[in-house]
Structure 1
């Protein structure tokens, strides 16, 4: 299943319809909700609010995730409407909104059955480029986190097929949400088309989870186990979260990096220059057989595929002049109970990761070290990043000194999800918005039914852009070389007769 930047894969042309949620009477008829929001959501909202105050505009903060699902049948308008309304009714996070007041956040919620859909026919597109521009632009505008709805749907219908698309601000969804959602939306549409029960299991509410997590985190203090892990990591890095930094390659031409540390391309006088979207990459690293061979090497060393991937990233980082220690931040899901498994929401924590390659005699030793580090830092994910900053006396994202992640590596095995094989074969793909940061490097590595896939975003030009390109190219080669050492699946040599 692809995880791809919206503009990197065309949508087959056809008739575009946009589906916008609304409630009669607007937010004025919603119910005040005493459940507090999550730290992730608060950090995200405050960052968006400060950006608006600083730049006097909403744009340049795109942070949405989405889906594109392909249906090999003519589109039924009533079935699409029933599907989307049913999905909104299943997931309370799509019927809840948080606003920023002067000294606090306030939540409002509306019940199932109150959200309706406005169907707007945009027109027929015969070429993919203008269609993609229209979709991406409207998704950018529709997913601003300070408004409701911060999400929208679209369909592109053709004579014998159609594409269903969704985009939602990151405060509403994460990658796991959308991996599960593609199967859920397909099941809802199929049931609506056939007028049968969808038979999907009930899901929990991210609004409930947010309230629970918030109360638990606010009760934590400096003695929380996560604080020791983060303090050790920040002490080791001089109080900064690591960026991506390699030695320059031979003959490499270095240009000035676009933007600065704030990611908004803001000048000292407060004006904002033209925003430059980050570069992106999506590709297959290994096929299924090659991935199995690499996994066998990891298993023989007592590790897992995820620890092997991190070990390989560290080995290549050291090889290309990044230094003997790989330092990055790793997202971890917080869906600890079954009720959250299929829920929409931002169930993600961040943990610091450090892997020292010094003195490693072979790759198996690096895998062992990576496994130990993953176990050690797991406890850091039990406390939200914003709360960590508050306990350490700093304020992430809001005028404080607490650093924000600049180098992030994610690994997800997608084979647990219902319908994963069909999605990986092209039925569905997870979308992400573009990003304007001048210094962030994000790498996502996913195990799918077809093998190992990679997606990345990084500065669009300059030194880091060149370095990331070299790094990811060498990383793919390294994985193949390690896998080639495995005897997994090898055939016995033929005997002479």
Structure 2
């Protein structure tokens, strides 16, 4: 599944149909009583932001994927089968029948949940789009309009029909989904469609409800920790090392305090599939995993550009720790504060060996060769990454919302964005072999930015990077240099002892 932004996605033009709730469904939603289950911590923060910045940038996530054949022809799927597939899928996932609205007091926000049997969709003809630019502009406009946390439904379903193929778009306000949910959507909607078209019931695994997850979370967080809690103290130390705020990208982005700029985006493949396999073997041979190797090379790339001996950032983590959440749609994420030692064993105040030294083939006898020195530094960084990540996992047991409440005035938010790195291995998802043939994409909006953020994804086609940053000349140069250095570091560690071990298949 390719991770990119909508402006980098090029759908073929065609005839557009949306699938929207029926009048009866909307009437039923208006009359649905309030649920006792409050928004999750993630949803609460998101809803408060939506209320405060109602006309601000939209925070939606979307997926797009293709069906072969002409929807509506006798040899392939028809729009009615697709409509039924969407209906079955929404009835399966309670959170998509859950919405938010102001409570009667006008202050609080309450949840409501529409019963499954009350949900239905109907097709709405939109029209023909004859160019990719026009189609993309329509999709962007409709996603911004439809994907709003305080409206229902806060998502958009549409299909683009053309001779020989069709493209499905599903966009969601962030309160409904996370990145994993998009991959689940691609697989399950395909399965729902195929079953409906064949006149059978979709054969999908049992699934839990994100609304139930929110209820359980409420029980767990009902008694928030105090400032004396040991984990809160360690969170406080992390923020203090960041200047009393969230971590920021450690290199110059050309922004004055409080400034935001239109978003810049860079998407690239860091390693092809064979090279990514070699890099993963290098990570495992060094005693780590692909993720710890990614963190090690992120630290190496940062250290090459000179930000210091430690790198502080946030790492999103999934919270799908029970089997019932594995296939559930919802916002199952938390954040961990990560501190990386990025020296590679060079030690504080001592610069790492220069590129020239590492490339020298004439190291005197008894000293490390360039190859072994590079491997030693990589291994050191990888082990430091493993240690740092284990610490971060421990701290993530305290949700950020509770941490900030406990810290009070000790913490000040100085930027809207947070320097973070997300990693998803899409090969682990059931049905991932179908993502490339279906041209499956994870799409994000293009908004504004005041810090750098990075998404690394492993697919069957390789290792990919998406970078988001404020589009200033300084940030453009800095972030692209960082991405270049990251790719070079990874490429370096596919060589050496691993040469000749790559499968030809």
Structure-2-length-normalised TM-score: 0.87
Query: Which stretch of structure 1 is more off in the superposition, 16-25 or 163-172?
Result: 16-25
Residue number among 241, 258, 263 corresponding to 1:261 in the alignment: 258
Matched pairs, number: 462
Kept in 1: contact 2:225–2:402 (CA 8 A): no
Residue by residue over 1:376-412, the C-alpha shift from the partner in whole angstroms, topping out at 9 and shown as x without a partner, is: 110222232212211222699xxx7587652110111
Q: In structure 2, what is the Cα distance between the partners aligned to 1:133 and 1:214? A: 40
Residue number among 458, 461, 464 corresponding to 1:447 in the alignment: 458
Q: SS of the residue aligned with 2:453? A: strand
Question: Shift in Å at residue 432 of structure 1?
Answer: 1.1
Map of 1:266 onto structure 2: none
Q: In structure 1, what is the Cα distance between the partners aligned to 2:121 and 2:345? A: 58
Map of 2:19 onto structure 1: 19
Residue by residue over 1:96-143, the C-alpha shift from the partner in whole angstroms, topping out at 9 and shown as x without a partner, is: 112244443311111002122242211112211101101111111110
Map of 2:371 onto structure 1: none
Q: In structure 2, what is the Cα distance between the partners aligned to 1:383 and 1:338? A: 22
| 2:144 paired with 1:140 | yes
Map of 1:92 onto structure 2: 94
What does 1:289-308 correspond to in 2, within 5 Å? 289-308=274-293
Q: In structure 1, what is the Cα distance between the partners aligned to 2:221 and 2:414? A: 18
Residue number among 492, 495, 498 corresponding to 1:481 in the alignment: 492
Q: In structure 1, what is the Cα distance between the partners aligned to 2:448 and 2:483? A: 20
Query: Which stretch of structure 1 is more off in the superposition, 80-89 or 276-285?
Result: 276-285
Q: Measured at CA, do residues 245 and 376 of structure 1 come closer, stay the same or move farther in structure 2, by a change above 3 Å? A: closer
Q: SS of the residue aligned with 2:150? A: coil
The runs of 5 or more residues in structure 1 that have no matched partner are 53-57, 248-253, 264-275, 493-497
Map of 2:270 onto structure 1: 285
Q: Measured at CA, do residues 46 and 360 of structure 1 come closer, stay the same or move farther in structure 2, by a change above 3 Å? A: same
Q: SS of the residue aligned with 2:340? A: strand
Question: Shift in Å at residue 424 of structure 1?
Answer: 3.1
Q: In structure 2, what is the Cα distance between the partners aligned to 1:155 and 1:422? A: 19
Question: Shift in Å at residue 480 of structure 1?
Answer: 0.5
Q: In structure 1, what is the Cα distance between the partners aligned to 2:87 and 2:41? A: 28
Kept in 1: contact 2:274–2:462 (CA 8 A): yes
Q: SS of the residue aligned with 1:483? A: coil
Q: Measured at CA, do residues 394 and 180 of structure 1 come closer, stay the same or move farther in structure 2, by a change above 3 Å? A: farther
Q: In structure 2, what is the Cα distance between the partners aligned to 1:195 and 1:204? A: 26
Q: Measured at CA, do residues 34 and 491 of structure 1 come closer, stay the same or move farther in structure 2, by a change above 3 Å? A: closer
Q: In structure 2, what is the Cα distance between the partners aligned to 1:25 and 1:463? A: 52
| 2:234 paired with 1:232 | no
Query: Which stretch of structure 1 is more off in the superposition, 97-106 or 299-308?
Result: 97-106
Residue number among 481, 484, 487 corresponding to 1:470 in the alignment: 481
Residue number among 46, 49, 54 corresponding to 1:47 in the alignment: 49
What does 1:8-87 correspond to in 2, within 5 Å? 8-22=8-22, 23-25=25-27, 27-52=29-54, 58=55, 60-75=56-71, 76-87=78-89
Q: In structure 1, what is the Cα distance between the partners aligned to 2:133 and 2:115? A: 39
Q: In structure 1, what is the Cα distance between the partners aligned to 2:187 and 2:212? A: 23
Q: In structure 1, what is the Cα distance between the partners aligned to 2:121 and 2:502? A: 58
Question: Shift in Å at residue 449 of structure 1?
Answer: 1.2
Question: Shift in Å at residue 440 of structure 1?
Answer: 2.3
Residue by residue over 1:315-355, the C-alpha shift from the partner in whole angstroms, topping out at 9 and shown as x without a partner, is: 11111122221111100000010100111111010011111
Q: In structure 1, what is the Cα distance between the partners aligned to 2:170 and 2:425? A: 22
Q: SS of the residue aligned with 2:396? A: helix
Kept in 2: contact 1:298–1:304 (CA 8 A): yes
Kept in 2: contact 1:394–1:402 (CA 8 A): no
Map of 2:388 onto structure 1: 373
Residue by residue over 1:182-202, the C-alpha shift from the partner in whole angstroms, topping out at 9 and shown as x without a partner, is: 110100000011011211012
Q: SS of the residue aligned with 2:62? A: strand
The runs of 5 or more residues in structure 2 that have no matched partner are 72-77, 347-376
Q: Measured at CA, do residues 191 and 395 of structure 1 come closer, stay the same or move farther in structure 2, by a change above 3 Å? A: farther
Q: In structure 1, what is the Cα distance between the partners aligned to 2:292 and 2:274? A: 19
Kept in 2: contact 1:293–1:486 (CA 8 A): no
Question: Shift in Å at residue 235 of structure 1?
Answer: 2.4
Kept in 2: contact 1:395–1:401 (CA 8 A): no
Q: SS of the residue aligned with 1:218? A: coil
Kept in 1: contact 2:301–2:482 (CA 8 A): yes
Q: Measured at CA, do residues 426 and 373 of structure 1 come closer, stay the same or move farther in structure 2, by a change above 3 Å? A: same
Map of 1:250 onto structure 2: none
Map of 1:122 onto structure 2: 126
Q: Measured at CA, do residues 233 and 73 of structure 1 come closer, stay the same or move farther in structure 2, by a change above 3 Å? A: same
Kept in 2: contact 1:409–1:443 (CA 8 A): yes
Q: SS of the residue aligned with 2:384? A: helix
Map of 1:267 onto structure 2: none
Query: Which stretch of structure 1 is more off in the superposition, 439-448 or 97-106?
Result: 97-106
Map of 1:407 onto structure 2: 419
Q: In structure 2, what is the Cα distance between the partners aligned to 1:374 and 1:139? A: 35
Q: In structure 2, what is the Cα distance between the partners aligned to 1:108 and 1:308? A: 43
Map of 2:75 onto structure 1: none
Q: Measured at CA, do residues 110 and 491 of structure 1 come closer, stay the same or move farther in structure 2, by a change above 3 Å? A: closer
Question: Shift in Å at residue 32 of structure 1?
Answer: 1.7
Residue number among 392, 399, 402 corresponding to 1:384 in the alignment: 399
Kept in 1: contact 2:146–2:155 (CA 8 A): yes
Q: In structure 2, what is the Cα distance between the partners aligned to 1:180 and 1:241? A: 31
